[in-house]
Each structure stands twice: as structure tokens, then as C-alpha cells.
Structure 1
Amino acid sequence: MSVTPRRARRLVPVLLLIAWLGIGGALGPFAGRLGEVATNDQAAFLPRSAESTKVVAEQRAFSRAETLPAIVVWTTRGEASGAQPAATRALASLAGTPGVTGRLSPALVSRDGAALQGVVQLRPDLGEELPAALDRIRAAAERVPGTTVGLAGPAATRADLSDAFAGIDGLLLLVALITVLVILLLVYRSLLLPLVVILGSVFSLGLACAVVYALADHDVVRVDGQVQGILSILVIGAATDYALLLTARYREELGLHDDRFAAVRAALRQSWGAIVASAATVALGLLALLLSDLTNNRALGPVGAIGIVCAVLSALTFLPAALVLLGRAAYWPAKPRPGGSADASTGVWRRIADLVDRAPRKVWAIALAALLACAALAPTLTSKGVPLDEIFVDDAPSVAAQRTLGEHFPGGAGNPTVVIADAGRLDRVVAAARTTEGVAAVAPVTRSGRPGEEPFVVDGRARVDVTLESAADSDAAKDTVARLRTAVRAGPDADALVGGYTAQQYDTLRTAERDRTLIVPVVLAVIFLVLVGLLRSLLAPALLVATVALNFLATLGIASLVFTHVFGFTGTDPSVPLYGFVFLVALGVDYNIFLMSRVREESLRHGVREGILRGLVTTGGVITSAGVVLAATFAALGVIPLAFLAQIAFIVAFGVLLDTLVVRSLLVPALVRDIGAPVWWPGRLGRKR
């Protein structure tokens, strides 16, 4: 039996909806399962070629089994030496308990005599059993009378990170979806369409998470809690933005077409290019992170690009199919009527367009001056890393214990810098380390772990633990690591390597600086080429790229003030400026693409001057709504109590709003209006009067 064209055009939307319902049913649960393949082990995200990464590989040879240390710190009201025997017995009682491995060290008294410290080595593969192991350590330590107990070190930090990311899939997704739903209800003044948009976003997230899960399970990509959270926000925000653009165009076309199929076809024809170009800028910008030498940056690139592809796929297949079947009922209780005008002639956007038309030079000069003033503060944003006591927005137990440890022991106590050198040159390396400014103690590692014995030598190499005077996460400690590397490699000791936590932070900072130098121009070039292909112009793309770059710098300037004087941060993570740049520039260009693709379309019909005014009026509401949605979804990252995500959330949310309300609404239209037809050079619009 042959299928008629009318029946075929009804069959395709039904089949698409069935396919997406199958995807949602089969793959939707993966949105809550990424935690199964995620790792929050920070050692897995070190710079690939850095010296500290090489030390991690070499120092494994000095341990019969890799361990995860937990540092117990006791504070006393009197002399800590009186509690030392009981503390040592408490540590010894943990021998043989589940999760504890290796030799248990005796409790050590601090120089000021007010605290004790002990180290318990745990198996690194404890996973969900880690909190129970730490509880047993705490219970044993609390048996020491007259003391207050805290747990610090990598094991305690990992447990607090796991707590911070616990339920990230459900909590973050719930907050984001509720936020988006409320905004969509206000935007559409409809009950049904927001639910359809949300459903499409959830389907695309389920598909993206399933793909990422499969890749992470086969070690193709790495996923940590940060990448996991950003993926959810990125997909929900992007899918909603694309849906807003398509449904707004569909509503216009319903005012011109009685046939819902013709309206969807026209809406797709007029908007798919802008949607695909917008998705391409974000996806390609994220893929540029593959050039990074930091593994977690490299992980975000393909993971984020997969999310964007799934979002645009849902917006161009599921949503049109749903709109065809719903027709005007999608906008209930409002119903667009055939024969209505597609032009909005009243309202706030008509007034803004009139202002831009009357005084374009004044508008862009004021907007430009304000952005430049904010951008002048960008250099004050410090991205040298977040101190350990600021990693968590709330004061996590491991942070409080680390602070206590630093008050009574040398700043680097419990977190030594590791030097690996040839055994034959060990004496020279130890002497050089001891004379290095900022070093508190130097101890070659022995087989038994007791000081004073013969150094433990493996394949002609020996390990030295260096305790720094300054806190392991401080700028002073990083400076000491730089001096230490120079000192231990003087003369014939060029093969000595310096690693450990502080060296890792130092290498991460240097690598992040190198990444910004390389990736920023690559992202700008990629976005420029996408815009050239879409707008068929050279000057307009250059103008758009320059304005979104300025918006990024202005956002950093405001962020510097807010982070310091409102949030109380003393620094930002080294990756924050790069993440902020990729998201803000790529997503900021999105809104300019939506605007300028419509301006070009209207200019071809009505001339360049009328085109900019019509484009601004017809896209003003939907782009502003899209910006508010995206800012709100990224702001949802703030529910996770980590400084890194709080900083990313503010930069992207504020930057998107600044771009939407100032750059795209005032600066770009006024510049294009003032320049006129030459802005489209060398395309044919550039030759129109």
C-alpha cells in the first residue's frame, strides 16, 4: 500500500516522537549514573607532561602498595606530650582493621607542645567504604582523653569531595529543571509548551549521559564531579535556548500559515542555520580544550561537545515533531491566529530599536565605555589557585583539620614535597634541599619508614621527603618548590625530580597559563570562521568576536570585585579563566548569531537600516529569555558547595546576562546601525545602499 504525501508528513513526526520516547525510556537513567564512572582523585587530572606527574609514576616504586594517607591531629588543653602514649596506642589499635594498610606511625608532638599528629595509610580503592574507614579512625582517636580530634590529608579531603558531589545528578538536575520551568512559564504564558521543552531537554541529557557513560567506562574520556555537573547544566541550558529560538519562530509562522506543517517547515527553514551555527561555536570551542595539557580540561572538551550535539539534535527533531502534533494547542491558553502580523511594532524592544536608530553612536559609545571600565579591572583577578581552606564554600571537616594542623606543625607537615634522585648523588641532593630557603626538614625515605636507617633504593633511585615551612597550598610554598628544583638539579644532579602536592599545584598553574595562551586564539579563530560561513561577511564576524571578547574581560573585572569583597575568595582556580572564556565567548556568540542571522534575513528583504531594526525587535524577547534561562541554569551550579563551581557559576551567569542585556541589545545593534552596509563587506549586502 502506497503512502500518500499527507500521510507521510504525519507519519514522520510520530516516528520521531516514538524514537525519542524510546531514547528517554532506555537512556534516561544514565543521567543519574555518571557517578559510577566518575573519579574525584585529583592525581588523575595532573598535567600530562609535568615534572610532578613524572614523580607520581616514580614514587610508586617506593611503596609495596599505593596508599591514601589520613592525618589525625589532636589538640590538647595542656601539654600534648602527656597524651602521646595514648595517641600512639590508639593508632596501633587500628592495625588490621578494614581498609588500613602499611605500618602505623607513632604520634608526634608539635614544636609548640599543644598538638599531636599521626598518619594512617588506607587502601586507595576503598570507594564507598572510605567514610566508614575514616569513622573507625576517628572513633579510635577520640579514645585519647583530654583531646579534640580532626582528620586531614588526602583521604579526608577525598571523603569531603564525595560528600559535596553526593546526589549531584539528582539535586543539580532538579534545581536546574525547576528554574527553567518557572522561567518558561513566565515567558510562554502557556502550560503545555514549557513541559514539552523540558521533556526535550531531559531526553537530550539522557542521550548525552549514556554516550559519555559508555566512553568513560571504556577509559576513552575521564569524568569527575565538576565535568559531571557542567554537562547537566550545559545540556539543559543549550537545549532550552535552541527550543526558545525555534518555538518563537514557529509562533511567528503560525500567524502567517493556517497549516501547522507549513508553519513548522518554515520555522525550521528559517532557524536551523542559526541553531546549528550556534551549536557549532560552542562544540568547537569546547573541543579546543583538547589542546590543553590538563586532563580534566581535556575531558570537558569532548564531554561538553557531546552534550551540545545531543541538545541540538533534540531541538531539531523531537521539538518540531511535538509542535506538528500539538499545533496551536502548544501555546494554550494563548492561540496564535492565522493572518496575524509577524512584526512586533510595540513594546520595549520597539523603543530600544528606536533609540538605536536615533542615536546609534551615542548608544554604542556609552555601552563601550562601561564595558571598558569593567574590563580594566580584569587583571586584578588572581588565578593562582584556591587555598585548601577555600576549596569548599562551607567549612568542611577536612579543611578545619588542615587549618589546625598548620597552626601547630610546619605548613607542609603531612603533605611533603617529594624528591626522586639517583642514589649515588643522594647526599648532595639532601644537602642542597636543606639549604634551600623555605624548607623546614629533609628526610630520605627508608625501607622501614624509621628515620636514620639506610635509604630505600629502587633501580638506583632514592626518595627524599621535604617538609616546607609554608602551607602546602600557599604562594610561598610554590616559590619554594621552584627554588628547590633549581637547587637539587645543580651540577651533576640534573636528573633529580621534584613532585608532591605543592609541586602539582605549581605545575598546574604553569600549565593553565600555557593553555590560555594557546587555546584562547584557537577558540576565537574557530568562532570567527563559523561566523564567516553563516553571515557571508568578514567585518561583521570580526565585530562580533571583538564584542564578546570584551564582554568576557568586563565579566572578569566584575568577578574580581565580587569574589574578593562579597564571596571572600583570596584566589581562583587556574582553570576558571579558561572555562569562563570558552563558555562566555562561545555562548555569547550564540546570541549574536541569533540576532545577526535574523538581521541579515530582514536586510535582504527590507534593506540594511530597516533590517537591523526589525531583527532587534523580532529577536529581542526570545534572546533575552534565552539568556535568562542559561544564566539561571549555570547559577544552579551554586548548589554544589565547591569554590571552583561557584566561581564558574557566577562568571557564566553574570557574563551571559551582561552579553544579553548590553552587548547584544545595545552595543552590537548600535555599531551595526552606525557602520551601515559596509558591516556586511565583502558580501552583497555590503554593497546595498
Structure 2
Amino acid sequence: MFARLARFVVRHPWYTIVAWLIIGVLVVFLAPGAKKKSDQKDFMPSKYESIQATKVLSEAFPQHEDATAFVVVKRTDGAPITPADSAKVTAAAKALTDKHYKSVQGFMAGPQTLAPNKAVQIISVPMTGTDSKAQKAQGQAIKDMRKDIPSVLGSGLTAKVGGDTAAFTDNEKSFAQSMAIVSGATFILIIGLILLIFRAPLAALLPILVIMLTEVVTTKLIGLASHLLNFSTDDSLQIILTIVLFGVGADYYLFVLFRYRERLRAGEDKKTALITAVERVGEVITSAAAAIAATFLVLMLASFGLFAAWGPSLAIAVVAMGITSLTLVPALLSLLGTATFWPSKSWKKQPKARASVSLGKFVGGRPLIVALGTGALMIALAAGAFSFKADYDFQSGFPQNTESAQAAKDMQKGFPPGLTTPVQVLLKSTDGGAVPKTSVAEFREKAKTLPGVGTVQPGVPSAKGDVVRVDLLLKQNPNDNASITLVKDKLGPAAHKITPAGTKLYVGGATAIYSDMNKVVNRDLSVILPVAAALIALILLALLRSIVAPLYLVPAVLLGFAATMGASVFVFQGIQGTEGEIFHLPIMLYLFVLAIGTDYNILITARLREEAKEGHEPRRAAALAVQHSGPTIAAAGLILAATFSVMLLAKVSMLQQMGFSIAMGIALSAFVMALFLVPSITALLGRAAWWPGHGGTARRAPVQAAPPQDPMADNPYAPTGSRY
């Protein structure tokens, strides 16, 4: 199949290119955009209490704010706020309300918003809307009110605007700058490294062009799929999609280009060399793309809707990139021919390749030492994974010199940290009547003794009176791990024990949602990882036609995932002393390490089987496989790991954690697993690694090595027998 495909694409490149252009134009102009949601709680299953609380809240309080900002007012001289100052704050709130900022419900202030110690006074700013259009309006409102506040507040008082909405507005610029730095550096890095490897401008620019075109088409295909399969994505998908396409796209491009150059050096003409290259790597790319796509599709089993939506979206992207790599890339290379490597002439020369030869001899000659050494390293790193802690406090990872960050610090001079993110307790009447005031008063009194509660706010009844909202303000940061654990394990259960008779109690709010989200993510990982492992095993079984090989390759892949998690824990929670890491880091590593890292294992395993079929004994086959595939794996791994490591330049700790962890995972997959652990274990198992298939059965006897005086004797790129 791959031979026929290779001959058609290489001999008829313009047919392939024109077909791609027609398909691309039709998809771009006819396919709809993807359906999107902007709030993560919208992706949560409805069975969780925090989500049920959100639904009850929206039904009972139709005008309930979707977002909140606050203005923290204090005296310029640092003295306590006087009654006259408080009156000015109340008047300022009314003046700001009269300006009718878009998406702002109003500005609320009064004696109840004055801190008990009179250090600060708060103006609450409830806002409506959660979609991207509303968020844009809210951001503009934040900017406008910051301009207007000094004039309406008067002298002697100073104010800062804070809250989640203000923080999002402040951090949006920081995030955009970080992504601009990362994107720019990524392009430069990919082009620079490929240019360094091949010393050819066209070879460096070609993958960028192909990947960008593929991304345009893929984005529209995902939009079409979101309507057909009825799923929604969010804005984060575009970033992940770009990274996935550049990751697998660069890998598959290098797989083709390295093998193409290898065949040219073997003396074949440019058309024959390209046909043979595509034929040889076709099965590898197809298997790798199938493994990654299947791994992504497993995400559809996730309860968290966002992860479930990533599954088909990223699977479409990988399949599209695999097809592009075996059709459009060879077609373009067919037209360019050896000009692809211009002005370098290195494609004509047989390299000495001393490093890859020595590496291959070491792995093939001492497989037991290599297997034990690399295995011990990976297990030691994996031990750290057991200490992983999820962190949901996004704001702490952004710069702390913004106005919203300073407002939060000022607010804590007079109020508990939980003021901005209260635990929302809803008391709903079971008979549809009004909840008695005495029941609410009794509940509020008992709630003061609940674990971690600093202040209990007055109850707010709905219009019908059948639902009452009571906000509990925590003594500590409501978004940190301790608070999430507190709500899940102590506060929530304790609140249910004091539920007033005749009511049903719901514990909601962001902290409760994060608590439930933690349960969802843990549940999803417990389902996704084993299913993904089983699918990868089946794909390897189909590729290698062996039962034995998947039995050690799949555990090796999972060990790489665990080692990456452990390395991240050692660096961030250990060396840097952070309380935890971004809660979705395990899923990110699943996407980029377990899935994409499988590429390298498939490439080296396919080459191991190829060398075994040529009649080489197991240790010699391992040495030759590392010699031949080592440069490809090293180049692909270096480019991909370096691409992710660019994220360390970002000012946002979330991106830094993702960048380091994924780069480490790719490096371990390429430079430890694929070049050392997998070939050494295969060498130790010998021909049994390919049982019951015929991967270990030679097609013919291997050609004898050239005499020692031959300068090409140890050159893995020298033409030797039927391998070429």
C-alpha cells in the first residue's frame, strides 16, 4: 500500500498538490467554526453538587452576577476610614452606577462594606455574562472605571480595582506577551535547529509552511466535527492544537527527510530515493499517527467535557498531519528534489557518524547494563509522581505588581481572604414554600463554627423566598489546595449536618467547583490511562505482529509518563517550593508525552524489527537500529523538547510548568527510552521479542561487513546489502 502511494505521490506531485488545494479551499470556506464555551464549570458533569448549586442559583436569582469585581478604598495617609470618608465612598458608588458601564449591574457600598478595623472599604461591582463578548465588555468596563474613580472619589482617598474580572484584564496582556514570546521563539527555534542539522534554508522553511497550512484546514475540520458530534471547545484548544501540529508535524517531516537523505547517500536517484523513503517510513508514520489519534480519542471517555472535546479535535489534527506528511510533503520534495538541501552538499557525502556508531555499539554490546541503568533512572524519577499536588490558584502564577494583585493585598488588611470567592451555601425549601427566617438565622449561627469559616454573610432570599443564599467567607486563600481539601473533606460534610429542617442544602462557589473538578480529573485519569495503554498495545501488536513486544513497550511508555510527573514534582514542589502544580498538568503530559512520545518508541522498534529481518543477531540489530535511527530520533526529540522549553521564557508560572514538564517528558522519551531502554530490552529478549510473528526471522543472510581497513566499515550509512 505504501509503495503504491509513494510511487503515485512522487511521480505525480502536481496532482497531489492541486488535490490538497481544492480540499483545503472547500473545507475553509464551507466548514463552520467550532462551538465554544468560555467557563470551565460549563464542562463539568451535572451530577456534582457544586454544579447543581450553580443551576439552583441561576434559577432562583436570575440577576445573580456571573462575575464580580471590587473596588478597595483606603485613606491616602493610611489612617482608619472615618464616617465622612465612608459617606464619600457610598456617593462614589452611586455616581459610578449612573455611568451605566456595559455588563455592570451596579456599584454597591454602605456601612456593611466597611472593614471591622476600618482599614479599607469595599465597593462591590457585580457583572453579567460569561461568553467572550461579555468578557470583552467587562474588561473595557474595568479600564473605564479605573479612569473615572479618582474624579468621583475625591481627595484624601485612593482606590484600586480588583477581583477575578480585573485580574483577568490585567493578566491578559501578560499572557498575550508570553504567548507572543513563545510563538516567536518556537518558529525561530524550529527553523534554526533544522537549518543547523541540514544547513539548508528550504529544508528548514518547508515544514513551517506545511504545518501552518495543515492547521488552517484542521481548525475548520474540527469546527465541522463539533457540530456533527455535538461537542464544544474553549479558547485553550487553539494553543494546544498548534503545539500538537508543530510537534508531530516536525517529527514526521524529519522521519521522511532523514530517510530520503539516507537513500540519496546510498546512491539512488532522487525519485527512487524518495519513493523508497516514503515506503519505509509510511508504516511508521501511520502507526505513530494511529497510536496518538487513538490515545487522544480515549479522552472522549472523560467526564470533564473540555477533555472530552479535546479528544476528537486533536485526533483529527494528528490524522490530518499524518496524511499531509505522506502526501503533500513528498510531493513538494519531489518537485524540489536535491535542491531541498541547497546550498549544502552534505547529502552527497557519507558521514563518519562516529557518535551514532559508538552509541549503537554501547547499547548493543552491553544491553543489561544499559537496561538496568536507564530503568533505575526512570523508576527513581517516577517515585516523585506520588507526591504530586494539584494547584487551582491561577492568580498566584501571574505577576504580582498589577493593580488587581495590589487590590487583593489591600483588601486583606480588613477582610478575610475568602471575601472575593465565598463558599455559596444554598438553602432550598423542600415543599416549595418560603424558607423561614428563623431557620436561616439558626443556620447562620451554627455556620460560624464550621471548619475554616471566618465570616458568615447575611442570608439573601430569592424573589419567591424558596431559596436563600448564605455566603461563607473562608479565613484562608479560597483557591489554594488547603481550602479545596477543606471544602471537600470537612466544611461541606459539616454544613450538610446542620441543614435546617424542611430544606435541601447545596454547597457551591468556585472553591467547591474546584473540589469537584479535582474529583473529575482524578476519575478521568484513572479511566483514560489504562484504556490508552490497551489501545497503544493493540496498535503495536498490529505493527510488529508480536505479543511480546507490547508487553514491555507499553509499560515503558507509562513509566516515561510517571517519570516526567516525578521530575516536575522534584523541580517545582521540591526545589522551588511551590504548594502544587497546575491541576491539568497530568492531562497535558498525557497529551504530549504519553501520546507524542510514542512516536520515538515506534520508530526505533520498527527499525529494530527491520534489522532483525535482515538477518542480524539481536545485539547487532540493536546496535544498527540505534546507529540508523539515533540521528532522526535525536533531531526530532531535540527540536520538540527545545520548542516546549521556550515556554520557560514566559512570565506566567503555569506556562513555565507546562514548558519544563513537557520538554522533560519529550527528552526522556527520545533520549532515554527510545535510544537506550527499548533497544537494550529488545536485545536482551532476542528473537523472542517478535514472537509469534516473523519479525525475528531473516529474509536473507546479512551481507558480511567490509574489511577493517575499509574506511566505511563502521559507517551506518554505507550501502550494505539488502537494507538498501
TM more than 0.5: yes
Distance between the aligned counterparts of 2:171 and 2:97, measured in 1? 26
Task: Tell me the equivalent position of 1:120.
Answer: 125
1:524 to 2:533 alignment: yes
1:552 to 2:561 alignment: yes
Q: How far has the Cα of 1:249 moved from its partner? A: 1.2
Q: How far has the Cα of 1:395 moved from its partner? A: 4.9
Task: Tell me the equivalent position of 2:331.
Answer: 321
Q: How far has the Cα of 1:404 moved from its partner? A: 3.2
Question: Out of 87, 91, 94, which is 2:89 matched to?
Answer: 87
Question: Out of 454, 463, 478, which is 1:440 matched to?
Answer: 454
Q: How far has the Cα of 1:479 moved from its partner? A: 4.1
SS at match of 2:360: helix
Question: Out of 419, 425, 443, which is 1:413 matched to?
Answer: 419
Q: How far has the Cα of 1:583 moved from its partner? A: 2.2
Question: Does structure 2 retain, via aligned residues, the 8 Å contact 1:677–1:686?
Answer: yes
Q: How far has the Cα of 1:617 moved from its partner? A: 0.7
Task: Tell me the equivalent position of 2:588.
Answer: 579
Note the aligned Cα RMSD (angstroms).
3.2
SS at match of 1:496: strand
What is the identity, as a one-letter code, of the residue corresponding to 1:117? Answer: I
Tell me the alpha carbon deviations over residues 98-128 of structure 1, each in whole angstroms, 9 at most, x when there is no partner: 2154353115222332112111122325343
SS at match of 2:221: helix
Task: Tell me the equivalent position of 2:168.
Answer: 158
Question: Does structure 2 retain, via aligned residues, the 8 Å contact 1:583–1:652?
Answer: yes
Q: 205-214 or 6-15: which moved more?
A: 6-15
Task: Tell me the equivalent position of 1:362.
Answer: 369
Q: How far has the Cα of 1:565 moved from its partner? A: 5.5
Task: Tell me the equivalent position of 1:61.
Answer: 59
Question: Does structure 2 retain, via aligned residues, the 8 Å contact 1:51–1:498?
Answer: yes
Task: Tell me the equivalent position of 1:209.
Answer: 219
Q: How far has the Cα of 1:523 moved from its partner? A: 1.4
Given the superposition, is the C-alpha separation of residues 399 and 379 from structure 1 closer, same or farther in structure 2, using an over 3 Å criterion? Answer: farther
Aligned pairs for 1:618-629 (under 5 A) are 618-629=628-639
SS at match of 1:662: helix
Question: Does structure 2 retain, via aligned residues, the 8 Å contact 1:441–1:466?
Answer: yes
Question: Does structure 2 retain, via aligned residues, the 8 Å contact 1:236–1:633?
Answer: no
Task: Tell me the equivalent position of 2:285.
Answer: 275
Distance between the aligned counterparts of 1:386 and 1:8, measured in 2? 52
Question: Does structure 2 retain, via aligned residues, the 8 Å contact 1:164–1:642?
Answer: yes
Q: How far has the Cα of 1:40 moved from its partner? A: 4.4
Ranges in structure 1 where 5+ consecutive residues have no aligned partner: 447-454
Q: How far has the Cα of 1:27 moved from its partner? A: 7.5
Question: Does structure 2 retain, via aligned residues, the 8 Å contact 1:390–1:569?
Answer: no
Question: Does structure 1 retain, via aligned residues, the 8 Å contact 2:13–2:332?
Answer: yes
Distance between the aligned counterparts of 2:525 and 2:508, measured in 1? 23
Tell me the alpha carbon deviations over residues 268-296 of structure 1, each in whole angstroms, 9 at most, x when there is no partner: 21111111111122222122222222222
Aligned pairs for 1:633-672 (under 5 A) are 633-638=643-648, 641-672=651-682
Question: Out of 486, 491, 494, which is 1:487 matched to?
Answer: 494
Given the superposition, is the C-alpha separation of residues 443 and 415 from structure 1 closer, same or farther in structure 2, using an over 3 Å criterion? Answer: same
SS at match of 1:87: helix
What is the identity, as a one-letter code, of the residue corresponding to 1:78? Answer: A
Q: How far has the Cα of 1:237 moved from its partner? A: 1.5
1:386 to 2:392 alignment: yes
What is the identity, as a one-letter code, of the residue corresponding to 1:89? Answer: A
Task: Tell me the equivalent position of 1:561.
Answer: 570
Task: Tell me the equivalent position of 2:143.
Answer: 135
Aligned pairs for 1:152-301 (under 5 A) are 152-160=162-170, 162-166=172-176, 172-214=182-224, 220-256=230-266, 258-301=268-311
Taking structure 1 as the reference length, what is the TM-score of the superposition? 0.89
Task: Tell me the equivalent position of 2:115.
Answer: 110
Q: 389-398 or 72-81: which moved more?
A: 389-398
Q: How far has the Cα of 1:687 moved from its partner? A: 6.9
Distance between the aligned counterparts of 1:179 and 1:511, measured in 2? 37
Given the superposition, is the C-alpha separation of residues 379 and 263 from structure 1 closer, same or farther in structure 2, using an over 3 Å criterion? Answer: same
SS at match of 2:578: coil
Given the superposition, is the C-alpha separation of residues 216 and 7 from structure 1 closer, same or farther in structure 2, using an over 3 Å criterion? Answer: closer
Given the superposition, is the C-alpha separation of residues 238 and 503 from structure 1 closer, same or farther in structure 2, using an over 3 Å criterion? Answer: same
SS at match of 1:473: coil
Aligned pairs for 1:495-510 (under 5 A) are 495-510=504-519
Task: Tell me the equivalent position of 1:72.
Answer: 71
Distance between the aligned counterparts of 2:106 and 2:335, measured in 1? 69
Distance between the aligned counterparts of 1:433 and 1:627, measured in 2? 55
Given the superposition, is the C-alpha separation of residues 681 and 23 from structure 1 closer, same or farther in structure 2, using an over 3 Å criterion? Answer: same
SS at match of 1:78: coil
Q: How far has the Cα of 1:238 moved from its partner? A: 0.9
Given the superposition, is the C-alpha separation of residues 171 and 66 from structure 1 closer, same or farther in structure 2, using an over 3 Å criterion? Answer: farther
Task: Tell me the equivalent position of 1:449.
Answer: none
Question: Does structure 2 retain, via aligned residues, the 8 Å contact 1:485–1:498?
Answer: yes
Distance between the aligned counterparts of 1:505 and 1:6, measured in 2? 51
Q: How far has the Cα of 1:444 moved from its partner? A: 4.9
What is the identity, as a one-letter code, of the residue corresponding to 1:422? Answer: K
Q: How far has the Cα of 1:337 moved from its partner? A: 7.2
Task: Tell me the equivalent position of 1:44.
Answer: 42
Distance between the aligned counterparts of 2:662 and 2:169, measured in 1? 28
Q: 42-51 or 87-96: which moved more?
A: 42-51
Question: Does structure 1 retain, via aligned residues, the 8 Å contact 2:103–2:134?
Answer: no
**Alignment: residue pair count:** 671
Given the superposition, is the C-alpha separation of residues 565 and 393 from structure 1 closer, same or farther in structure 2, using an over 3 Å criterion? Answer: farther
Aligned pairs for 1:422-433 (under 5 A) are 422-423=428-429, 424=435, 426-427=439-440, 429-433=443-447
What is the identity, as a one-letter code, of the residue corresponding to 1:347? Answer: R
Q: How far has the Cα of 1:402 moved from its partner? A: 2.5
SS at match of 1:142: helix
Distance between the aligned counterparts of 1:37 and 1:392, measured in 2? 29
Task: Tell me the equivalent position of 1:452.
Answer: none
Q: 504-513 or 150-159: which moved more?
A: 150-159
Question: Does structure 1 retain, via aligned residues, the 8 Å contact 2:60–2:467?
Answer: no
Q: How far has the Cα of 1:49 moved from its partner? A: 3.0
Q: 533-542 or 559-568: which moved more?
A: 559-568
Task: Tell me the equivalent position of 1:333.
Answer: 343
Distance between the aligned counterparts of 2:49 and 2:86, measured in 1? 38
What is the identity, as a one-letter code, of the residue corresponding to 1:575? Answer: H
SS at match of 1:112: coil
What is the identity, as a one-letter code, of the residue corresponding to 1:357? Answer: G
Given the superposition, is the C-alpha separation of residues 531 and 147 from structure 1 closer, same or farther in structure 2, using an over 3 Å criterion? Answer: farther
Distance between the aligned counterparts of 2:552 and 2:168, measured in 1? 46
Q: How far has the Cα of 1:597 moved from its partner? A: 0.5
Distance between the aligned counterparts of 2:284 and 2:557, measured in 1? 17
Given the superposition, is the C-alpha separation of residues 6 and 196 from structure 1 closer, same or farther in structure 2, using an over 3 Å criterion? Answer: closer
What is the identity, as a one-letter code, of the residue corresponding to 1:192? Answer: L
Q: How far has the Cα of 1:436 moved from its partner? A: 1.5
SS at match of 1:580: helix
Q: 630-639 or 646-655: which moved more?
A: 630-639
SS at match of 1:495: strand
Distance between the aligned counterparts of 2:310 and 2:396, measured in 1? 23
Q: 576-585 or 18-27: which moved more?
A: 18-27
Aligned pairs for 1:19-34 (under 5 A) are 19-21=19-21
Q: Percent identity?
A: 27
Q: How far has the Cα of 1:394 moved from its partner? A: 6.1
Q: 489-498 or 109-118: which moved more?
A: 489-498
Aligned pairs for 1:386-405 (under 5 A) are 386-392=392-398, 395-405=401-411
Tell me the alpha carbon deviations over residues 304-353 of structure 1, each in whole angstroms, 9 at most, x when there is no partner: 22221221121111101011111222122245778x87xx7642110011
Distance between the aligned counterparts of 1:179 and 1:28, measured in 2? 29
Tell me the alpha carbon deviations over residues 377-406 of structure 1, each in whole angstroms, 9 at most, x when there is no partner: 2223322x2324423266544333333323
Distance between the aligned counterparts of 1:485 and 1:496, measured in 2? 10
Taking structure 2 as the reference length, what is the TM-score of the superposition? 0.85
